[in-house]
Amino acid sequence: MSRSTVTLPTPSDFRSPGRVLEPLGFWAAVVLPFSYLPLLYGGLSDGQFALFLGLVALNAASLVLGQEHRRG
């Protein structure tokens, strides 16, 4: 007769916030450059230039955040 035991999850079994945000950062870094195209196609006015710089900064942050995604 075998005896079954119940094991409770340990904190290491749960995904850390960094492990959850890595895929989001990776895919944001992939998709964000497509948002540049409409801005660059029509030319950048003053307000659009600030938006463009914000998108570039967001893309850079996404690259840093998602750089370890699926790297084993």
Domain count, the chain: 1
pLDDT tens digits along 19-51 = 778 889 999 999 999 999 988 898 888 888 999
pTM (two decimals): 0.69
Q: Is residue 29 part of a domain?
A: no
Range of the domain at 56: 34-72
Q: Is residue 23 part of a domain?
A: no
3 pLDDT band, cuts 50/70/90, is confident
Q: Is residue 3 part of a domain?
A: no
Question: What is the per-residue DSSP string for 16-46?
Answer: PHHHHHHHHHHHHHHHTHHHHHHHHHH---H
Q: Is residue 2 part of a domain?
A: no
pLDDT tens digits along 56-66 = 999 999 999 98
Q: Is residue 65 part of a domain?
A: yes
